[in-house]
Amino acid sequence: MLTKILSAAHFGLETLPVEVEVNLATKGFPGFTIIGLPTKSVEEAKERVKTALVNSGIDFPQAKIIVNLAPADIPKEGSCYDLPIAVGILNSLGQIRLPAEKSFFYGELSLDGSLRHSKGVFLLALAAKNLKVANLFVPLPSANEAAVIKHLNIYPVSSLKQLVSHLVGLTPIQRLKITTKQSASALANQATAEFDFAEIMGQEQAKRALEIAAAGSHNIFMQGPPGSGKTMLARALPGILPPLTEEESLEVTKIYSVTGNIPPGGSLVTNRPFRSSHHTTSRAGLIGGDSPPRPGEISLAHCGVLFLDEFPEFSRSTLEALRQPLEDGVVNISRAAGSVQFPAQFTLVAAANPCPCGFLGDPKNECRCSPRQILRYQAKLSGPLLDRIDLHLNVPAVEVEKLMPLDSARGKPIFKPESSAQIRARVIKARNLQTARFQKTGIHSNAQMRNKHLKKFCHLTDEAYLLLKQAVNNYHLSARTYFRLIKVSQTIADLSAEKTITQSHVAEALQYRLRFQEN
């Protein structure tokens, strides 16, 4: 008997419905074949389904079973076809009754018949909404991902046995309640970071720059001798990032769901991603790639921060590959298996030493590098790449007087740095201004503004404009730098809650641009 079960396949962030046709013929030599371009992981579903059925107390039929995954010309991968195949076999055996409405069955089976956390359930729910599929049968550990989407019947399935008794009408599975916005945003306020900004002594300028970066999602490049706190500053950054907006949250959840980065039981991603990559990361690992194409670190850092420590140690080709996504906010990956687009609107935080020994420009330690070595080291970072970074700053070594909190016993004043929570409050205010400004434009922050947005939203005073013009002429800045300066100035204005960009905002923006070139 032939049964057709609806399931889905993911290509990049697109979801296509896949019909799982299961034919159970009592004539012919018994066997189990899967066709429709299955990869190894789909092929192995045979053994999982067989064992799971037997261990759920169902006799595996002595019959010729053919499973076709239609459309048959698209390669299928992943373990999510286990459940539809098992349900197809059960229905062909006449042991269950399928629901009357269109239903998606999706999930990986464990050998004991229970369902395992599966990738891409969130995308499946989105597809169900678009395709008007009423019911969703998904693994219990992944069901929360689907529960964000309204108007769907989501059945969290814990085991095959439970599903069978639901489908024959014995003990129905309770539908999952929709996760509300409130419960998602309640989680969002717990921004966690390894370090609090209050723990970092000195480095006031760097902190201010990071605040600007967090507020406007500007790229930032920190340069300084070893041990000055570049890495620590970057690791403290998640603590001041604003929460994701609802729209952003959906985008990030899509990427995290399809890559299996949502923990079992998890739902919407509400914290801004903070990804940090080692410098040995391959180009495909960073940009995305493989076949079929998978999102890389830059897409996993979408709407969040990508921290690249020891920036010049990355291979040249990897770094240059960052150029296009940095500008466009998306990355197109074309392979023989097809072409996909992943969003990649990330804030780049890069850290580097100024030279191989690290002490170039340090007032106390002498640099031991030859000029040639220094040139070679700095040449690893191309001009076009650095041009795309809005904020350049030096992170000098901290003086010893600032390192320990000064004790009042010696009669010195106690200096207490601002905590992450204080800074974050300002950042959130600035970001709220941006969210209000960019309604219905498809962008979320100042750094994402295009030239048309600049003209529409950024208002400079005459003095500010004059200063900007002089800077461009004196320092021979590029057109891109000019526009980026305005964007940074806008963020600084937002942080001080001013509507127009004044001379002082431009002046501050300029110092983050020029400092690097003095070296």
Partner 1 sequence: MKNLNYQTGRVGENLAREYLIKKGYRILQSNFHTRFGEIDLIAAKNQKLIFVEVKTKIGDQFGTPEDMIDKRKLGKIQMMAEVFLQKNPPVAKQYPAYQIDAVCLVLGLDNEIIRINHWEDLGSEMV
Summarize as ranges the residues that interact with partner 1 (CB under 8 A).
28-31, 62
- For the bound state, the minimum distance from the C-beta of residue 81 to partner 1, rounded and expressed in Å, comes to 22
Q: How far apart are CA 501 and CA 494, in angstroms?
A: 9
Nearest distance, CB of residue 29 and partner 1, angstroms: 5
Smallest gap, in angstroms, from Cβ of residue 93 to partner 1?
17
User: Per the structure block, which two tokens stand in for 229?
Assistant: 């706190």
**Whole-number Å distance between alpha carbons of 310 and 283:** 16
To the nearest whole angstrom, how small is the minimum distance from the Cβ of residue 119 to partner 1? 31
Nearer to partner 1, 1 or 35 (CB): 35
Encode burial over 403-432: b for 16+ CB neighbours within 10 A, e otherwise.
eeeeeeeeeeeeeebeebeebbebbbebbe
**β-strand pairing of 347-352 with 220-223:** parallel
DSSP secondary structure letter of residue 336: T
**Which residues are registered as beta bridge partners of 349?**
220, 307
Query: Considering the complex, what minimum distance in angstroms separates the CB of residue 72 from partner 1?
Result: 16
Name the residue nearer to partner 1 (CB basis): 34 or 301: 34
CA distance 491 to 1: 65
**Smallest distance, Å, CB 49 to partner 1?**
14
Nearer to partner 1, 63 or 212 (CB): 63
What's the closest the beta carbon of residue 66 comes to partner 1, in angstroms? 11
Separation between Cα atoms, residue 147 and residue 184, nearest integer Å: 11
Torsional sign, CA 140, 145, 146, 149: positive
Length of the chain, in residues: 519
Least spacing, CB of residue 31 vs partner 1, in Å:
6
Question: CA 10 to CA 117: how far, in whole Å?
Answer: 16
**C-beta closer to partner 1: residue 31 or 384:** 31
Which of 25, 514 has the CB closer to partner 1? 25
**Mutual angle of helices 462-475 and 479-495, in 10-degree steps:** 140
Nearer to partner 1, 55 or 179 (CB): 55
DSSP character for 93? T
Strands (E), 74-216: 103-105, 108-109, 115-116, 135-139, 153-157
232 Cβ contact partners less than 8 Å away, ≥ 6 residues apart: 195, 200
Nearest CA-CA partner of 447 in 246, 273, 236, 212: 212
CB-nearer residue toward partner 1: 54 or 375:
54
When the beta carbons of 28 and 363 are compared against partner 1, the nearer one is 28
Residue 463 burial (CB count, 10 A): 12
Shortest spacing between CB 62 and partner 1, in angstroms: 7
Instruction: Identify which of residues 14 and 47 has a Cβ nearer to partner 1 in the complex.
Output: 47
Instruction: Indicate the residue among 62 and 182 with the shorter CB distance to partner 1.
Output: 62
Q: Give the contacts of 381 (CB within 8 A, at least 6 positions apart).
A: 311, 312, 319, 352
Measured CA to CA in angstroms, residue 143 lies from 123, 125, 174, 449, 503 at distances of 12, 10, 12, 36, 53
CB of 141 to partner 1, least distance (A): 31
Nearer of residues 28 and 371 to partner 1, judged by Cβ: 28
Give the shortest CB-158-to-partner 1 separation in angstroms: 28
The count of C-alpha atoms lying within 13 angstroms of the C-alpha of 284, restricted to the half-sphere facing its C-beta, is 8
Nearer to partner 1, 36 or 224 (CB): 36
DSSP-H helix ranges across 134-239: 143-146, 160-167, 181-188, 204-216, 230-236
Per residue, the 3-state secondary structure of 242-293, as one string, reads CCCCHHHHHHHHHHHHHCCCCCCCCCCCCCCCEEEECCCCCHHHHHEECCCC
Least Cβ distance, residue 64 to partner 1 (angstroms): 9
For partner 1, the closer CB: 64 or 294 = 64
